Every structure is written in structure tokens, then in C-alpha cells.
Amino acid sequence: MKTQQSESIVRRGVKAISRYVPQVEKPKKKLQLSEKLIWSGIAVLLYLVMGQIPLYGVTDDPRFDFLAFARVIFAAQQGTLLELGIGPIVTAGLLMQLLKGSDLLKLNFKNPDDRALFTSATKIVTIVVIVVEGTLYGVSVYGNLVASPAFVPIVVGQLVAASFVVMMLDELVQKGWGLGSGISLFIMAGVAQGIMWSVFSPVPADDGPVGVIPFTIDSAINGDIADALFRVGQLPSLFGLFVTAIVLLVLVYIQGIHVDIPIVSTKYRGFTAVYPIKLLYTSNIPVILASALLANAIFIGQMLWANYNPLNTNPAFNWIAQFDPSAPQTPTGGLLYYITAPRSLDVAMQDPLRAVIYVLFLTTIVTIFGRLWVELGGLSAGKAAKNLLDADVQVPGFRRSEGSVETLLNKYIPSVTIAGGIIIGLVASISDVLTVFGTGIGILLMVDILVNYYNLLVREQVDVHMPKLAALLGRK
């Protein structure tokens, strides 16, 4: 009884608060594909422009970049309006997904009211996270980097307002004005921007232009074309370009590997299809979680080091982490040193043990998180069997019961979860060691998003040319 009363109070509270939360209205008529592409382009353009506008009132650069290891995931740019990127939206979304997958939220998603309630609750939680993260980050990171204390609230306001605009842009895309989700578009645009910068940037570096193409041309003119094959540090090289292309091809191939389980509709006679269990069953969520774990570990390590061991003179703390006082971005010793990527081939060759430990560590963590996400994210065999039956389909030759279908799915889901975790962990870690453009995690995210958008565009074309088939697929 108390549980039901609590749920009723939460429902009423969410409905009451949601009335005052700004909403993006759905389009009154179905938009053409070309119109959706235009709106999606506008959203991405605004996002990229915000990433070039510096925070007003900040007079100095932060000594630490606490989000350095999560910038790709959060599509964030340090020192700009996109300091937090999509971080608050991703954080709130993962939190709500965990609550949903663990059944702490008792909602029936076949009920439109419950779906609307979940969407409203997610938006409210996102706003709370935006305010909290914007305030904490503005005060703790930029509190001492402004002209006067009076500018701190202004910086906090910019961070909160910018994150709110990002949330609305994401909602604009998801409500039907654009294609897919704004979050996916922003991540893809950020990774693609990084790759294009590595390939074409004419900005000068120590040995020539940053971009591998301008540098190769410059080297050829000077008669030193071999210099473009390998470059010192993390500067783009022909070797990095070659490895990036190989990784892209491997990921596209892996994305297509799946086990197909035949299903038939119990509502529409003669309608058959397949339920694909992809090798990358958990998608890239385990990599995101592992990256967030590493980012938090580095963040805590930096904070502790700055306060208790700034000169690396504490023998006990040196076992945990050591940093270079002149460039305290990545660890130079201790445990944290071995679990962060040596982001260039020359650095990896100087300390092969570090590279091996990093690859093994990240692969193990990604695999563990993949197994946990299957249970907490509502992807287990039991959940999948229930979803199939709720969708009015069944597996030919099996009784229409959750236990029977769950037994069948259990033959595949645990195995592909572990195999997929190992594969994406190895690809992400090895890509980082080999200095893949856009980072290994960024490439993983971009390929996954591109494949999803390809499937989305196919469905859009089916909707245009074969509306009856699209309607049937939509009801399945």
C-alpha cells in the first residue's frame, strides 16, 4: 500500500512539474525527409557554433581538464559554452535507464501515459543534473579563473543556459523535426570534426602542419616524404590514417554480425520476420561506462595529487599516481599511469608493459560492464522474451511462454555479450595505443551511430515509397 501511494505521489509530482517545463511541440504534419535533414543540419550547426564561443568572464585557462578523457563521449569543448557538452543529458539518461531496467520504476511502456510520464521524468532529472553540474563545475573549475568573484554566477549561468539549449536541440530532433536523436548527431559531428582536423588542418605544429594531408604535401615538396609515415607524439601521420581506415572497416564488418531468430506475428497471419541478436549486443554502452570510470579515476587522482602530493614526494601516494607539475593532464607514474592509454605508438614502444596492461585492463572492464548492463539495462534473456511476447510475436516451434523463449535466448545472449565486450574493448584500447584519429572510443561511437542512421534512412525511404509496409512494420 505504501509503495502504491509513493508511486502515486511521484506520478502527480512529475505531472505537476512538467507543466512548467518548456517543451518542443511535435510538427503538426509529417515532415519530408529533406525537411528533417535541414532541421538536423541546423541543430548540428548551432551545436558546433556554441563549441567555438568562449565563456565570457574567464580570463585564464584551467590548469586541469577534468573532462579530458570524456570529451569525445560528451561532445564537449573546454573553455566554451559546450564545456559540459551532452554530459548532463547522458548522465540523466543512463540514470533513468538503470531505474527502468532494474524495475525500480514500475511503468508499462505499452501505455502511452506511462511513456509520457517516463519522458517527462527524464527531462526533469536532466534539468536537475544540468543545474548541479553547471554550478559545481563553474564554481570549482572557473571560480579562480575569472576577473572578479562577481563573474562566477555569470559563468555558472552560461554553463546552465548552454546545456539547457543543448537539451532543447536534442528534443527538437527527437520530436520529429529531425532524424534520430540530437545526442547521436552531436557525438558524430564532434568525432567527425576531430577526424577532419587530423586529416586536413593547416595549423602549424612543431614539425609542420597538423593535418596529415598538408604535412605529407609539405614533406614531399621538401623531399622528406618518409617523415609523414610516423610523427612524434600524438600528431597525425600516414600510419595513423591507415590504421583509422582499417579500424573503420573492421567495425563496419563487426556491426553486421548477428544471429537471427525467426519470429512470426500472432496478430497478422503470414507475417514473418527475424529477431537479430547482434554480436555487439550491448552496443557501445559498456565502453562509455568504462571511459566514465577512467575519467573519474583520473579526476580524483588529479585532485588528490594537487592537494597532497604536488611535487611527487609522497612515497605512498606515488603508488597511486604521479603527475608532471608542468603538464598535469595525464599520469606519469603509479597505478593510474598503467590504466591510461599511451596515446601514440612511440610512447607505447618506450613502455610496452604499460600498453599491454592498458589493453588488458580496458578489455576486462568493458566486458564486465557489458555483462552488468545486460541485467541492469533490461537486455537480459528474460526481458527480451517478455518484450517479444508483449509485441505479439512468437518463435516457431516454441511454446508461447516466457520460460520457453528465455531458454532459447539464453543460448545466445550471454555468449555474444562476453564476446562483444572483448571485441569492442580490444578495438577501443588498441586503437588508442595506435593513435587512431578521433580516438578509439570516438570511432566506435561514430560507426555505431552511422549504422543506426543508415537503418533509419532506409526506414524513411520505405515509409515514402511503401507506406503500407511501413505501417505494418510499425505495428509489429
Single residue among 152, 175, 191 that ends a domain in this structure: 191
Q: Are 122 and 256 members of one domain?
A: no
Single residue among 191, 211, 241 that ends a domain in this structure: 191
pLDDT (tens digit, 9 = 90+) per residue, 72-128?
A: 778 888 889 998 888 888 888 878 877 776 666 666 666 777 777 888 888 898 999
Q: Are 119 and 187 members of one domain?
A: yes
- Does residue 4 lie within any of the structural domains? yes
pLDDT (tens digit, 9 = 90+) per residue, 188-241?
A: 888 888 889 889 988 888 777 888 899 988 888 887 788 888 887 678 888 889
- Does residue 243 lie within any of the structural domains? no
Q: What is the pLDDT of residue 467?
A: 53
Q: Are 370 and 259 members of one domain?
A: yes
Single residue among 145, 174, 191 that ends a domain in this structure: 191
Residue ranges making up the domain that contains 344: 250-476
Q: Are 285 and 172 members of one domain?
A: no
- Does residue 244 lie within any of the structural domains? no
- Does residue 233 lie within any of the structural domains? no
- Does residue 160 lie within any of the structural domains? yes
pLDDT (tens digit, 9 = 90+) per residue, 280-337?
A: 888 777 887 787 778 778 777 877 887 788 888 888 888 988 888 776 667 888 898 8
Q: Are 329 and 259 members of one domain?
A: yes
- Does residue 151 lie within any of the structural domains? yes
- Does residue 238 lie within any of the structural domains? no
Q: What is the pLDDT of residue 472?
A: 43
Q: Are 343 and 258 members of one domain?
A: yes
pLDDT over 70, % of the chain: 89
Q: Are 168 and 293 members of one domain?
A: no
Q: What is the pLDDT of residue 357?
A: 93
Q: Are 161 and 254 members of one domain?
A: no
In CATH, what number is assigned to the domain containing residue 153?
1.10.3370.10
Of the candidates 43, 33, 34, 50, the residue with the CA atom closest to the CA atom of residue 185? 43
Q: Are 179 and 278 members of one domain?
A: no
**What's the structural domain count of the chain?**
2
Q: Are 179 and 255 members of one domain?
A: no
